[in-house]
Structure formats: C-alpha cells, structure tokens
Amino acid sequence: MKRILIVLASCYCAQAAAQSNGLPPVNVHQVNIAIGQAGAFNAYSIAGAEQLANRRLTCVPNSCQSTLPVKWLLFDGNRLNEALVNLKWQTANEINNSGFEVERSLGNSSHFEKIAFVPAHAGSTVIRNYYLDDVNDYSGVSYYRLKQIDIDGRYTYSLMVAVKGYPRNTDLTLYPNPVQDMLHLSFEMPVNASAIVTVYDVSGRPVLQQKMQFKKGINVKHIAVAALIPGVYLVKLEAANHAVHSARFIKQP
C-alpha cells in the first residue's frame, strides 16, 4: 500500500471521498491517522490506496480533501530600513503551482490587499527560495500572508507574519501630492543646519539627491520631479544630527 498525504479541511470522511471520485470503497477500520508535519495527516493501509495515490480528490459534503500542492518550509518578514520590508519564503515539492499572491494588511490582520504576484518554479521538486522587497514605511505593525494559487485556480494560504513599523517624525510635508512638475517640501528645522534630501523609487533605489541648507524654523524647499516616471516615491530628509524624516508622494504623467 502506498503512503498517502491528505489534508482535511473540515473532517475526515474517507468513504465519501472515495465514492465521490469513483474509487473503490475505503475500509475505514484499516485506517490509522497520525498528525504529521504542518498539521497534515498521514493515512496508511487504505483499501483501494493504489488508485487513490497521487490523485487529487474533490470536495464532498463535510470532506474537503486534497494532496498538498506546496510544502511550506519557511515564511518570514524583516524590516530592512524605514521604507523597505524584505519577505522571504521557502517551499519544496511544488505540484501544479501557478505562483504566489503576496497580500498585506496595515495595522490589523483582517483587511488584506494584494501587493504583488510571484510566479512559481514550475514542476519543482527541490527546495526553492523566493524573495520580495515591499516599499513600506508604515509606522505600525504590517501583516503579510501568501496566497498560493494552483494552475486550476484553487488556492491555499500561508501563515501570517507580522513586521514592526519604523517610528518616524511627521513634520515633513510634501505638496502638491500627486505632483507633475515641481514638488514643494515643507520642514521645520530646530536650528540652522544642512540636510541631505533623497528621493527613492518603489524598489528603494535613490533617483534624486540634494544637499540643502535650512534655517531655524519653517522652511520650504523645491524639488524638480518632471523627469521622473509616474509612480510612488519616498522622500527622506536626513538632518545633521542623523534624525531621519520621510514622506511619500505620487508622480503623475
């Protein structure tokens, strides 16, 4: 008899699963269930197992069962800096896997939105590593999860990971926002000092940098952004005392 790995969505109902898929009846008295890795179940000595092996079962009432399309080994997230979060995950034995939708929820774990799609390594039977950098300067906790999608459209979710925010000063103001040509930067400096102002694109790459002189009090500076391609950008102001201030803007065509 072959060893079969079965995921139970609600309850174990071997007879219903076999009948719904046109397979021989399962002798439930010969089934031994043991909890395996990642909450899966290992079923042994099932009558008709030769035909059940390597076959994906469909859902029947009270019995949603399926062979695992992906074996999850790792999913982790780390904040690299004020504006960038690095996500990494590791899989093995990918079967009929189309890819992964990366979803994020800011401040809570209930309102997820898709931020990216990462294609799978088709038909991979070895350990695979995936990476994604997310431009995220949210000061609170960010939650991430992966939606693994099969080539037939079915999907499963990974566990969630939480990434701490990056406390930042909010006294840097950008306007107009969105902007087309000239971006105005308003900042209150506690003393006369210089500062480095850097503009980053969504990949975290610096596209503009300028050293500016600030007087004590409220200052308004100007940054020409007409040459930038449309998209979301991050402005970071690093003062002489190494305090970092940041704000985002949207460049329009």
93 and 147 in a common domain: yes
Which of 235, 230, 180 minimizes the C-alpha distance to 212? 235
Q: Into how many domains does the chain fold?
A: 3
Q: How many residues does the chain have?
A: 253
pLDDT higher than 50, residue 110: yes
179 and 238 in a common domain: yes
CATH of the domain at 227: 2.60.40.1930
Contact between residue 235 and residue 170 where contact means Cβ atoms under 8 Å apart: no
Contact between residue 128 and residue 91 where contact means Cβ atoms under 8 Å apart: yes
158 and 75 in a common domain: yes
Mean pLDDT over 192-196 rounds to: 90
153 and 131 in a common domain: yes
| Residue of 10 and 142 predicted with greater confidence | 142
Helices then strands (H, E): number in the chain?
A: 2, 19
For the residues of 147-200, what is the DSSP string, one character each? EEEETTS-EEE---EEE-----B--EEEESSSBSSEEEEEEEESSSEEEEEEEE
What was the pLDDT predicted at 93? Answer: 83
- Which helix H or strand E contains 50, and what residues bound it? helix 49-52
Contact between residue 47 and residue 26 where contact means Cβ atoms under 8 Å apart: yes
157 and 75 in a common domain: yes
Structure tokens at 154: 């079915």
Q: What percent of the chain has pLDDT over 90?
A: 45
pLDDT higher than 80, residue 18: no
Least confident residue range of 14-23, 35-44, 116-125: 35-44
What was the pLDDT predicted at 84? Answer: 87
What was the pLDDT predicted at 170? Answer: 53
Contact between residue 246 and residue 197 where contact means Cβ atoms under 8 Å apart: no
152 and 82 in a common domain: yes
Could you tell me whether strands 65-66 and 161-163 are parallel, antiparallel, or unpaired per DSSP bridges?
unpaired
Q: What percent of the chain has pLDDT over 70?
A: 69
In single-letter form, the type of residue at position 81 comes to: N
Structure tokens at 53: 């092996």
pLDDT higher than 50, residue 62: no
Q: Of 112, 130, 163, which one is at a domain's C-terminal end?
A: 163
pLDDT higher than 80, residue 53: no
Mean pLDDT over 30-52 rounds to: 33
180 and 159 in a common domain: no
What was the pLDDT predicted at 169? Answer: 53
27 and 52 in a common domain: yes
76 and 24 in a common domain: no
What was the pLDDT predicted at 161? Answer: 96
103 and 53 in a common domain: no
Could you tell me whether strands 65-66 and 71-81 are parallel, antiparallel, or unpaired per DSSP bridges?
unpaired
How crowded is the C-beta side of 157, counted as CA atoms within 13 Å? 10
Residues 85-97: tens digit of each pLDDT: 999 999 988 888 8
Domain range enclosing 180: 172-251
Q: Report pTM.
A: 0.46
